[in-house]
Structure 1
Amino acid sequence: MTPSSTQAPLVSLRDVRFAYGEREVLRGIDLDVHRGQVVAIMGGSGCGKTTLLRLIGGQIRATGGRVEVEGQNVGELGNAALYALRRRMGMLFQFGALFTDMSVFDNVAFPLREHTELPSGLISDLVLMKLQAVGLRGAAALMPSELSGGMARRVALARAVALDPMLVLYDEPFAGLDPISLGIVGQLIRRLNDALGASTVMVTHDVNESLEIVDYVYFVSEGRIVAQGTPEEIRASEHPFVHQFVNAEADGPVPFHYPAAPMSSLLDRGVR
């Protein structure tokens, strides 16, 4: 989806910085997510991708810069306003994070029971509709322990969109999935985003699947955005880090070898 140049972004980050104690994780991030877009945030482990999701969701507050969602400065919201904003967001946690002592039905019903006063009959209809959308209406009575990894992720996806959110955040939605489940979840993310008229921010390492479904990609390295663009632009990028990441090359800006003294110097000293 190509956003209108006059349309204000749903999510906007400007010069965002964040540190855990003295360890600086983000060093001036600028990022936009427009309405209807599916946006991926990619980068190596520990580069700050999940931290960005937590800043957008208001779990943590930036140490500098500005995080806005629908024009509201998330870092300045009080508890009541922040909770109201979060009710308009959905979240799919890494590996799904289903409630293990609740059935599939009750997992999906949980946000509806927690945040609405809808009658039980209507909640039941909505839950079955969400499960139908992810192909699991027939699994409503199962427990999470009875699900495959792919099925569990699809239940978590149904729960994430139970309240028809304006924004859905995904933390590594493809982690640990087999190729069939990965493809199914990827297409569901795209289809549900479009059906709901929502926006999606997805943190992921999965290059191939992500570039098939997203509208825009941001690459993070050492706390900064080092590249951004459409899937076509990312595939054609000559940026050394992006090229190494997209093509899964062993050596490049991220070296294969951990820094060490030359082997010759160790052999000269008799070190084996």
Structure 2
Amino acid sequence: MEFVATAAERDAPLVSLRDVRFAYGERPVLRGIDLSVHRGQVVAIMGGSGCGKTTLLRLIGGQLKASAGTVEVDGRDVGGLGRAELYAMRRRMGMLFQFGALFTDMSVFDNVAFPLREHTDLPPSMISDLVLMKLQAVGLRGAASLRPGELSGGMARRVALARAVALDPMLILYDEPFAGLDPISLGIIGQLIRRLNDALGASSVMVTHDVHESLEIVDYIYFVSEGRIVAQGTPGEIRASADPFVHQFVNAEADGPVPFHYPAPSIGSLLGAGAA
């Protein structure tokens, strides 16, 4: 008998975090995170350095386990999966690492072919066709024989994106996909993220600092500060927001809810003590 998903199951979030907490030793990083990613969405997670954004990606991918709360992907508790079940779920995820993380001793073709060779029993001819299709999608079929050292930063990121979607994942995770890119490459990567997500019918979670590019391509944004969600909304809601944190972050202001100065005694009192 063929399984048919109910309307509720189809409408359920693909990724759901509920009251998620995490600490590195005694240092708390996440202090009760709630967020959802629905099917077909591109969702951005933003916030200052060290606020826990990449930790969230690692929890979703199962590299880390939450100290408390639940992390669900496709209705399954990631923290409760066994080794074999977790690896099976990861095969349905793609990951674009910061700066690409290509294998430097492999050609562009072999980098994209790697997950297909590792996780499928497809014949070489079919793998070749799939690799060329993925490279065509990112505009680099002509670079198949090159090594990563022969690519520009933007080209390397596009190869890494082709590798991330090689297995047609249901979920794609991006860790700072725009870092270090020139404006043209940044725009190209942004549009590819949106187009590939829509073409695959996938969902995407993107950790990024690039506010303006993200507002052009994402469906929803979460802002994280001190381990909590402090603001959220659609691009339109974020642009119109009067929230002080959002205003400071979007406009790159030095001072606001996130202070410029690290906590310290008044310099006036220190200078006075020195003069005395």
TM-score category, normalised to shorter length:
over 0.9
1:126 counterpart = 2:130: yes
Structure 2: gaps (5+ residues): 1-6
* 1:119 partner amino acid: P
Q: For 2:28, which of 24, 30, 34 is the aligned residue?
A: 24
Q: For 1:7, which of 2, 5, 11 is the aligned residue?
A: 11
Question: In structure 2, the residue corresponding to 1:121 is in which secondary structure?
Answer: helix
Q: For 1:242, which of 216, 235, 246 is the aligned residue?
A: 246
Q: In angstroms, what is the RMSD of aligned CA positions? A: 1.3
Q: How many Å separate the matches in 1 of 2:45 and 2:110?
A: 31
Q: How many Å separate the matches in 2 of 1:86 and 1:232?
A: 33
* 2:137 partner amino acid: A
1:104 counterpart = 2:113: no
Q: How many Å separate the matches in 2 of 1:29 and 1:267?
A: 42
* 2:206 partner amino acid: M
* 2:38 partner amino acid: H
1:113 counterpart = 2:117: yes
Question: In structure 1, the residue corresponding to 2:197 is in which secondary structure?
Answer: helix
Partner of 2:205: 201
Q: How far did 1:187 drift? A: 0.1
Structure 1: gaps (5+ residues): none
Q: How many Å separate the matches in 2 of 1:237 and 1:250?
A: 18
Q: How far did 1:257 drift? A: 2.5
User: Alpha-carbon deviations, 1:48-76, whole Å to 9, x = none?
Assistant: 00000000000011010000000000000
* 2:114 partner amino acid: F
- Normalising by structure 1, what TM-score? 0.96
Q: How far did 1:264 drift? A: 3.0
User: Alpha-carbon deviations, 1:20-66, whole Å to 9, x = none?
Assistant: 11111001111100000000000000000000000000001101000
Partner of 1:264: 268
Question: In structure 1, the residue corresponding to 2:136 is in which secondary structure?
Answer: helix
Q: How far did 1:239 drift? A: 1.6
Q: How far did 1:270 drift? A: 3.9
Q: How many Å separate the matches in 2 of 1:20 and 1:239?
A: 30
Q: How many Å separate the matches in 2 of 1:264 and 1:14?
A: 45
Q: How many Å separate the matches in 1 of 2:125 and 2:36?
A: 39
Question: In structure 1, the residue corresponding to 2:11 is in which secondary structure?
Answer: coil
1:148 counterpart = 2:152: yes
* 2:252 partner amino acid: A
Q: For 1:81, which of 82, 85, 90 is the aligned residue?
A: 85
User: Alpha-carbon deviations, 1:137-183, whole Å to 9, x = none?
Assistant: 00000000000000000000000000000000000000000000000
* 1:57 partner amino acid: G
User: 1:121/1:61 Cα in 2 relative to 1: closer, same or farther (>3 Å)?
Assistant: same
Q: How many Å separate the matches in 2 of 1:26 and 1:263?
A: 32
Give the share of equivalent positions with the same residue, in percent: 85
Q: How many Å separate the matches in 1 of 2:128 and 2:27?
A: 47
* 1:16 partner amino acid: V
Q: How far did 1:268 drift? A: 2.5
Partner of 1:213: 217
* 2:159 partner amino acid: V
